[in-house]
Amino acid sequence: MLTTTDTVSLTGPLDSAVLRRAAAPLTVTVDDEARARIDRGRSLFHGLRHGDGGEERKIYGATTGFGALVGYAGRADEADQCDNTLAHLGAGQGPDLPHGIARAALLLRARSLAQGYSGVSAEVVERLTAMFATTFVPAVPRYGSVGASGDLIPLAYATQALRGRGHAYLDGRRIPAADALEAAGLRPLALDGRDALALVNGTSVTTAATALALDAVRGAHRALTVLTCLLADLLGCDPGFLDEDLLRAYGHPGAVVVGARMRRTLTGVTPSGTRPLQEPYSIRCAPQLLGAAEDALRYVDGVVAADLGGVSDNPLFFEDGTRENGTGTGKVVHGGNFFGQPAAFAADLLASVTAQLGNLAERQLDLLVDPARNGGLPPMLAVEPGAQHGLQGVQLATTAFVAEIRRAAVPAGMQSLPTNLHNQDVVPFGTQAALRSYDMAELLGLLCGSLALGLRQAAHVGARRPTAPGCGELLDSLVELIEPVEPDRPLDADVRAAADLLVRGDPT
């Protein structure tokens, strides 16, 4: 089995970089502080459930049915209650979630449970953490969650796989989950009703997908910022549209920040003096557009940070600070911390940002391949137009990417539908919003890669050498990565390679 020395603590903060790393094997630790919290929460749960007189107290999911059936008693046997929780949620459909999302979701689930408010057993958290040292990935169907009461159906599939039921991936191969656990050296989870409900009653899939999508869009935003600079330098544009006083007067902090980044990249640039007095909006208004995106992404940053650090579960158990005979006293609170509305709104905003960034990349490529606007470079940046076609196929593909992004950008977070006998009479559809934004971010990366390919080809067919050293370094990295398009050849792999360099790396 694959192993790694990369280590993550469930006590420390999580961020998108940690979630990305969860796609591969890593060591996840539970320190003494976290174990103590988990043990106190478990003790508190038992104390509140049985009470002073030994009479069992109603606690959702531990003694009751689920959802709309909360008014009915659950099963008396703990193992049966676990089955009762999970079996009925086996109703998901569609392709399996990307492996990175499935593992990131379980890392988030483990951290939420490790806060000690869910009343789970320490063994549950320890078994979850053991999984991350292997290549085990639960097979989780994409469709079925409404993002309320948590991501019930997808997390139920993940939990069942950890119990040895259903299917999982090991070393990238989809096999029965029991076989995957055995080959990975993992023991199946043994759960009671409280454990089972705590594993599924959270927004971990929604949060994971939103965080990973945000990370990808952030990378694309950085890439488009420097690619816009390279475009302006190759064409010989005057950098006056980035004037510090101009952007400060605009009044929006994102534009000020983005403008400063672009001025740094364009340090040393010399205008050609042959461009129009005012550039097209895809160049002249780029700091305002990218700045507005920066402001919006900062809002999404805050939502994701709150979700990564919060506890999404129901019910939760809180101590009142006293201990009697080793048993905590306090309260059990039934509420709605599993409701993924913040992430739904954030993912919808992220989709809007993605669509406009995609528009910008596509319009800049269109400008670059048009001899009427690109300073006299050949049409489609073809070395021998007609006998060769340059970027013509790539531009067609970018048009399709933008159309797909626009189609997917319809907000999901306000399209509530009642379900579950009107127990869930308003739902956020955060899961749909998050997974959709994740898909859109992938297309945005390809748009960035397409623009980068166009800029590299422009240098080959006659554009001037960049005059700003920062732009020259960026072009050199693209030249090193991608051969010129002469003669015609398939360019799909080149687009992906450029996207990997610029979006998943850091071109600055």
Of all residues in the chain, the percent with pLDDT exceeding 70 is: 96
CB 29 within 8 A of CB 7: yes
pLDDT of residue 3: 47
Of residues 166 and 1, more confidently modeled: 166
Distance CA 382, CA 388 (A): 6
Q: Which two tokens stand for residue 417?
A: 């539908």
pLDDT of residue 2: 46
State the residue for tokens 């910008």.
360
Nearest Cα neighbor of 235 from 269, 272, 285 is 272
Catalytic (active site) residue 117: no
Distance CA 269, CA 104 (A): 43
Determine which one of 60, 117, 157, 169 is catalytic: 60
Distance CA 371, CA 419 (A): 56
Is the pTM higher than 0.85?
Answer: yes
CB 217 within 8 A of CB 24: no
Gyration radius (Cα) of the chain, Å: 26
Q: pLDDT-based confidence at 326, cuts 50/70/90? A: very low
DSSP-derived pairing of the beta strands 167-170 and 173-176: antiparallel
pLDDT, tens digit (0-9, with 9 covering 90-100), for 47-98: 888 876 666 788 888 888 887 788 888 887 888 888 888 999 999 999 999 9
CA-to-CA dists, residue 421 to 67, 70, 424, 429, angstroms? 9, 11, 7, 17
pLDDT of residue 429: 84
pLDDT, tens digit (0-9, with 9 covering 90-100), for 160-217: 999 999 999 999 999 999 999 999 999 999 999 899 999 999 999 999 999 999 999 9
Paired with 317 in beta bridges are 332
Distance CA 418, CA 403 (A): 31
Domains of the chain (ranges; CATH) run 7-202 (1.10.275.10), 211-305+337-504 (1.20.200.10)
Distance CA 474, CA 381 (A): 19
CB 78 within 8 A of CB 192: yes
Q: pLDDT-based confidence at 325, cuts 50/70/90? A: very low
Is the predicted pLDDT of residue 423 greater than 90, yes or no?
A: no
